[in-house]
Structure 1
């Protein structure tokens, strides 16, 4: 009985792990060069000033 429960647990664990994949093919983080980073920072600052 314990072995059956162990096998069922392992099967569900394997299904859970295999379903956690990134199918988009993109990386999680964008690689910005310093110029793009500065432009993004300026956009957020100007957006906050207008919204206030």
Structure 2
């Protein structure tokens, strides 16, 4: 009985882990180099 419960738990945890992958191919974060970051900071200062 414990073995069956262990196997069921492993199956559900494997399903949960596999469903949490990001398959969209795009990252959520935009990578900026220091020059771009400084330009963005200057633009926001000029708006204020």
Per the normalisation by structure 1, the TM-score is 0.67
- RMSD (CA atoms): 2.0
Deviations 1:1-52 (A, max 9, x none): 000100000000000000011121012432212221112223444xxxxxx9
| Matched residue count | 46
Structure that is richer in helix per residue: 1
Per the normalisation by structure 2, the TM-score is 0.71
Unaligned runs of 5+ in 1: 46-51
